Structure 1
Amino acid sequence: MPMFLTVATTSTSLQPLISDLGLILMTAGIAVLLFKILKQPLVLGYLIAGFLAGSHFDFFPSVKDVHSVEVWAEIGIIFLLFSLGLEFSFKKLVKVGGTASITAGTQIVTMVLIGFASGYLLGWNMMDSIFLGVMLSISSTTIILKTFDELGVKTQKFAGNVIGALIVQDILAILMMVLLSTIAVSQQFSGGELLQSVLKLVFFLTIWFVAGIFFIPTLLKKAKHLLSDEMLLILSLALCLVMVILASNVGFSPALGAFIMGSIIAETTQAEHIEHLVKPVKDLFGAVFFVSVGMLINPDTLVEYALPVFLLTLVTIFGQSISATVGSLLAGQPLKQSVQSGVSLSQIGEFSFIIATLGTSLGVTSNFLYPIIVAVSAVTTFTTPYMVSFGTPLAVYLEKKLPRKWAKSIADYSANAEAIKTVTTWQIAIRAYLSQIILHSIIIIAIILLSSKYLLPLVEEIKFGHTLAALVTLILVSPFLWALSLRRIASEAVNELFSNKKQRGPILLLVFLRLGLGLFFVGFIVNNFFSPVTALFALVGAIIAYFVFPKRLQARYLRIEQHFLSNLNEREITKEKHLRRDLTPWDGHMATFDVVPSSNIIGKTLEELRMRENTGINIAFIKRGDITINIPSRNERLFPKDEICVIGTDAQVKKFKKYLDQNEIETPEETEETDIVLQHLKLKNAEFIGKSIRESKIREKTKGLVVGIERDGRRMLNPESHLILEEDDILWVVGDKKLLTSLVHN
């Protein structure tokens, strides 16, 4: 009987939670279907579903246990940021370059100031105005990428700048969340506290990233044969939540921890697979989060604050567009691409909600701010597709209407922007020295702090406990002390500078700075574990050992570094090998075939068909209606009327056609005489040598694309457009056959 009562009680206590979840998902499902039919962003559907399920709409069942929904919404934020981190990758931030950084930086600084001024003019208090400025400064990655896909503009040139700017915005948003938390706690602008918060963030980001890259890819690789999809999903979510706990324990938001773990896993070879596995979980809890945001929409508040909503919507659309356009122009982009980039970034979205949630949870923002931001986001989300479509006509109009002198100045500035990016020898040396000093100092400090907090308390009660703790700590940090003090850095640049007598003084100063830092850390360690007198003798012994065994320290450090770099670059190396395999043989050409409805291969995966093993060809893409699947995976299935594009030699394509004929497949008439070929040419033309791929205009002259370059026995696949062409380079170009032939003969 008591057991029955317990079960009944438990069932009763769960009932509101289960019914609320059912109501939320049912409402969200209906809204998503309707908005899918209307071809509108799904986020709007979730917001409206939340409004219908909230307590402010009386003609629909309402959620009862609001607190539980808020907890689920916090989990939704964690998984949203984790998924965003999986798409992020810190190396992407390095690759986006100055253009995206200047665009995003200009936009964010401008909008923070405009947003703060808008709040001040509306009579809001300082904290509301500060949070408003930050919320209006971050564009929506989710909405923009979805809009680009729907409009088919993701491959256009300006889209690359927009996506790069979004990457920079995401990391700056994380930084601003940390700063906002600091300001909210202190309730004042303190330069010292803000600097301390930034340094603390840099310290923990570095440690988490270095440690994560060192251990997590190795863990996933070693356990790969043991991990099913279910276990990999559980392990990934466990790693995410562990980092969430670590971030919370050191005073950061849980969302930051989730983002960091996502960005660490993004560097592993399992990233795409994990992203695929996590997507349903992210979609579920993300839907709950956006619905919970919609539940806060109060019609009375919106009516009362209709004027601020209208004004802030205009500020967002025009402010984001103009500031991003100006930033893109400052970065050296042409007028057309700058305008297209600017209007694409003219909305706010998920990060604005997360920042609004932060303000609410800290209790520093007013109740009206959240629904106002939700309303502004809803309107700007709706206008985003129209703004993106409007970008090209607006750019053409401005090019015609701007004074000729202005247009020429913009074009000249854009053309000369590459010259600004030149790097001097001193810059190379300084960057190398600073990066080594900062990175190794952070690692050494982290090891000392961990040893003091966890190792010393364990051994201090035993005899010679302090000596043991100091010895273990010195052994752990010794490779990094060697790298900090004695490792040769940027040798070519330093030797070039040192050969000039006037430059020797600064170079020697940098060398002594590194040696001094190494000795300081050794002294800090021994002083931390011993009395001052004992520390002096221990310091002398440590220094002697430090200089007596440099080769062993070097060997240990190089092993550690090699393991780290191997994990860091493994994803790119694997991808490059995959691409090399897909492009071989390099003397092949492309051909397309259509799958007829009566074919025997319909419904089978590429792995089952074993086309590459049987014929030697590689499938470049599968075109299915308006969808193109580039480099399809082996699990991709073939369907009626699919168009298959293959790369191979004449013999391989002929063998492939025979293979398909046996399975009832037809060849399009135009395929026999296709004008698009994959051809290689040796670079002898002085017109191209010394120019970048973009400057050479090869793409325009061949109506094609440079897909590979062979240089000194090395193969570079999908080279960047800024790569400088050199004499005797072998270029692999997919393009018009006649144009390629004329290019070879010129």
Structure 2
Amino acid sequence: MHSAVLLIEFGAIILALGLLGRIAGRLRFSPIPLYLLAGLAFGQGGLLPLGASEEFVATGAEIGVILLLLMLGLEYTASDLVSNLKTQYPAGAVDFALNALPGAAAALLLGWGPVAAVVLGGVTWISSSGVIAKVLGDLGRVGNRETPVVLSILVLEDLAMAVYLPIVTALVAGVSLAAGSVTLAIALGVAGLVLFVAVRYGRIISRFVSSDDPEKLLLVVLGLTILVAGIAQELQVSAAVGAFLVGIALSGEVAEGAHTLLSPLRDLFAAVFFVFFGLHTDPASIPPVLLPALALAVVTAGTKIATGYWAAKRAGIGVKGRWRAGGTLVARGEFSIVIAGLAVTAGVEPQLGPLATAYVLILVIVGPLTARWTEPVAARVTAWRRARRDGDGPAGPAPQDAVGARPETVEKVPLSKRQGPVEPSPVVD
């Protein structure tokens, strides 16, 4: 009887997620907010609380986080990460300062303490790679000159996760300063070792894992990833970081083949993860934190736009491209929820989960809108201010290029995070 109820509940969840994903596709926006809302509906205090399948969903959610970070690692090569770190670290530092500090300050102002401040700083810091990649494709900006700038910032954020997640894991576990330092040292040592091995012996590792049979390739990569993630978690490093490093170590045809095979599994278990996070958030706890979440969303949307604008200017991109880069970076999503999930599981602060849920719901919806409209709105405001200053009356309509059309004169570049750093160049649009 218990088995039958579990199958019915889990089957209903998967079917509901599929229908929600279809609705999101029709509306052309990310399904993440719908998945979170589904979790709120199925969780405690929701419309239809689940019972038998919650433990199974929890296991699926862990696999979802592991697959998210594995697929992220497969997008990069170790040499690309090293190159971006060497040349684009100023943009990464500005990104951290402008976007992590507001979240940390908000937690301290709310009286949540330093641990919650570190966690909320991470929630507001990391942009959603998945949402942003989809937005770039939907808006036809794959070949725009500002796109490599956006991707470089995402690369730096993802690389920083390998250091940040072990810190958060140690903090929420309440370990001592000495034990936390040891954990961080182990994490940095493992990350450095994996990067070194990936650069020097990546082809050998990929050859060992490689197989012409998709079934064997899937089983070897998935088994290796879960094994390494488990070992990493046992060492108090972070299962997610372990999965990320496995992805980095694989390259070439093996990485491409694994990416193709694992994408459906990633989508399935990532959706389960978002539902699981929603299950642990009481819908009644969201209204009290809605105003702080909205204020934080407004502030950090502005700081992300400023980050993208500054980074694009540093790379020699014209004014229109700077605004487009800034608006594209606004969306938060999967990794903000991953970070908040660590704190929720550890019981750091009861209101942190609801605030993170509301915050992500707001920005995952607003993000695609800012990506589309930041540049044309900025162009209209600039034209209006110029008209007022020159006394020419109301500004006329913005040029066609300023209202969302993709410029035909931009230099085309491939959409891939497997590319070198963005060097400063003459200013162009």
Name the counterpart of 1:369. Answer: 352
Distance 2:319 2:185 in 1: 38
Change in Cα spacing, 1:706 to 1:137, as seen in structure 2 (3 Å) is closer
Deviation of the 1:81 alpha carbon: 0.9
Change in Cα spacing, 1:15 to 1:719, as seen in structure 2 (3 Å) is closer
The structure 2 residue matched to 1:296, chosen from 272, 280, 289, is: 280
Distance 2:315 2:152 in 1: 13
Deviation of the 1:159 alpha carbon: 1.4
Deviation of the 1:330 alpha carbon: 5.3
Name the counterpart of 1:221. Answer: 207
Counterpart check, 1:126 vs 2:114: yes
Distance 1:108 1:290 in 2: 25
CA contact (8 A) 2:313 2:322 kept: yes
Distance 2:264 2:226 in 1: 17
Counterpart check, 1:104 vs 2:87: no
- Residue 303 of structure 2 aligns with an amino acid whose one-letter code is G
Name the counterpart of 2:361. Answer: 378
Deviation of the 1:92 alpha carbon: 2.2
Deviation of the 1:215 alpha carbon: 6.2
Distance 1:390 1:706 in 2: 22
Name the counterpart of 1:317. Answer: 301
Counterpart check, 1:258 vs 2:258: no
Name the counterpart of 2:230. Answer: 245
Counterpart check, 1:115 vs 2:103: yes
Change in Cα spacing, 1:133 to 1:706, as seen in structure 2 (3 Å) is closer
Change in Cα spacing, 1:13 to 1:217, as seen in structure 2 (3 Å) is farther
Aligned-residue identity in percent: 24
CA contact (8 A) 2:99 2:124 kept: yes
**Greater relative contact order: 1 or 2 (C-alpha under 8 angstroms, separation 6 or more)?**
2
Distance 2:98 2:180 in 1: 20
- Residue 57 of structure 2 aligns with an amino acid whose one-letter code is V
Deviation of the 1:29 alpha carbon: 1.3
Which segments of 5 or more consecutive residues in structure 2 lack a partner in the other structure? 387-407
Change in Cα spacing, 1:107 to 1:23, as seen in structure 2 (3 Å) is same
The structure 2 residue matched to 1:342, chosen from 301, 317, 326, is: 326
Three-state SS of the structure 2 residue aligned to 1:62 is coil
Three-state SS of the structure 2 residue aligned to 1:136 is helix
CA contact (8 A) 2:36 2:274 kept: yes
CA contact (8 A) 2:145 2:412 kept: no
Counterpart check, 1:355 vs 2:339: yes
Distance 1:721 1:325 in 2: 14
Name the counterpart of 2:160. Answer: 172
Name the counterpart of 2:70. Answer: 82
Distance 1:402 1:198 in 2: 50
Name the counterpart of 1:72. Answer: 60
- Residue 46 of structure 2 aligns with an amino acid whose one-letter code is F
Q: Which has the higher strand share?
A: 1
CA contact (8 A) 2:63 2:269 kept: yes
CA contact (8 A) 1:240 1:257 kept: yes
Deviation of the 1:88 alpha carbon: 2.4
Distance 1:126 1:327 in 2: 30
CA contact (8 A) 1:53 1:63 kept: no
- Residue 91 of structure 1 aligns with an amino acid whose one-letter code is S
Name the counterpart of 1:48. Answer: 37
Deviation of the 1:394 alpha carbon: 4.0
CA contact (8 A) 2:328 2:370 kept: yes
Name the counterpart of 1:274. Answer: 258
CA contact (8 A) 1:23 1:53 kept: no
CA contact (8 A) 2:149 2:422 kept: no
Name the counterpart of 2:140. Answer: 152
Looking at CA atoms only, which structure, 1 or 2, has the larger radius of gyration? Answer: 1
- Residue 29 of structure 2 aligns with an amino acid whose one-letter code is Q
- Residue 164 of structure 2 aligns with an amino acid whose one-letter code is M
Q: Which has the higher helix share?
A: 2
TM-score with structure 2 length normalisation?
0.82
Change in Cα spacing, 1:339 to 1:193, as seen in structure 2 (3 Å) is farther
Deviation of the 1:213 alpha carbon: 6.1
- Residue 216 of structure 2 aligns with an amino acid whose one-letter code is M
Change in Cα spacing, 1:339 to 1:299, as seen in structure 2 (3 Å) is same
TM-score with structure 1 length normalisation?
0.49
Q: How does 1:159-198 map to 2 (within 5 A)?
A: 159-186=147-174, 197-198=183-184
Counterpart check, 1:231 vs 2:219: no
Q: How does 1:285-684 map to 2 (within 5 A)?
A: 285-329=269-313, 333-363=317-347, 365-397=348-380
